[in-house]
Structure 1
């Protein structure tokens, strides 16, 4: 399920989720992110100097919820980071139909495993995160399935959520982060029948646009 079409259910997930680690990584339960300008990202917690707190719209501390010590960059309210401090790239989750019985697929597609989420996990090879794409400062980081955790809502809907290992600190200036998925074979989510919105192609493909964020000098 493409990020733009995943319903905003973070409040439900944060309270009632069952998180299962896949590959021992850390991840975020965040869905359907818009891309507001980095300047709109609040930064009152940056001056604390001792703790990072990425808060969702309901006030849930995602660092505490997911045991991530580094500053999280990605959710709309977390688009500001402190210069030269490690940071974690978080990006929208991938949802599927709950089970094989309710799954529907585009014509010609057959999943490798009956349950759509099992099929996604089987085929998911990892991600490539490109920082400042298209600029002289461009950097690329590749990770495997350790970026993934599973989240199940109260309604039984499964989501694969994602967050990178800690990335090197950045210099003060505007930056962007762009995420590419790597899949061994085509995967479709079983939710609807659009290949554009409901499927991920084999190989590497863009998963997000260029997410803007701001890196500021440490205050105090």
Structure 2
């Protein structure tokens, strides 16, 4: 599995704006500062200004990308996380020894095996709560530098209590999938069954009176 490489593969492309979504817990400020209050406007913008809500057609507040981890109390929210990219087609696809895809094109192989995800909020605490979603989490397939990427976002989830939380994504595949981009299993493949797809991403809900 290659979570680090897929996040940095094509940073300039609109659909890869989510590739850093699973980097929860990485500090970006050099000094301790008060958490930012979420904007009233729900649109989530990537560093290059791409509107991540209009990209897949989401009206709720998106949570997960580094710039979009705050919401107001009472708001439903959508969990988005790192996209998955594959070789463009079977032509030139490279696989680890012993791997045979179920579908000729790598992206079709991934989609045929994707069973869904389990989003666990506040994992390991007495507030832990899990939500399960099916293959509909794939909101859009788009290309960046001729590489197809599956863009993920859940259905709307209920609001959390005011304060800090974490949200973690586990993915389920019916069988092992390899992306066709290389022959190193740990970098180019996802295992069959359920596995942790993201880290414990920090998010926060603010009272409506904030700001």
Q: TM-score, normalised by structure 1?
A: 0.84
2:117 aligned with 1:121: no
Q: Which region of structure 1 is more displaced relative to structure 2, 147-156 or 36-45? A: 36-45
Matches within 5 A, 1:164-175: 164-175=154-165
Q: After superposition, what is the alpha-carbon deviation per residue over 1:133-181, rounded to whole angstroms, capped at 9, x for unaligned? A: 0000000000101110343325321011100100001111111111111
Query: Taking structure 1 as reference, are residues 154 and 161 closer, same or farther at Cα in structure 2, changes over 3 Å only?
Result: closer
**Cα offset, 1:66, TM superposition:** 2.5
Matched, 1:88 2:78: yes
CA distance change for structure 1 residues 141 and 209 in 2, over 3 Å: closer, same or farther?
A: same
Shift >6 Å, 4+ stretches: 38-41
Q: How many residues align?
A: 203
Q: Which runs of 5+ in 2 are unaligned?
A: none
Alpha-carbon spacing, 1:60–1:43, altered in 2? closer, same or farther (3 Å): farther
Distance 1:175 1:44, change over 3 A: closer
Q: CA deviation at 1:126?
A: 0.5
5+ residue gaps, structure 1, are 15-27
3-state secondary structure, aligned to 1:66: coil
Higher helix share: 1
Determine the structure 1 residue equivalent to 2:10.
9
State the alpha-carbon separation in 2 of the partners of residues 217 and 55 from structure 1: 22
Q: 3-state DSSP class of the match of 2:53?
A: helix
Give me the CA root mean square deviation.
Answer: 2.2
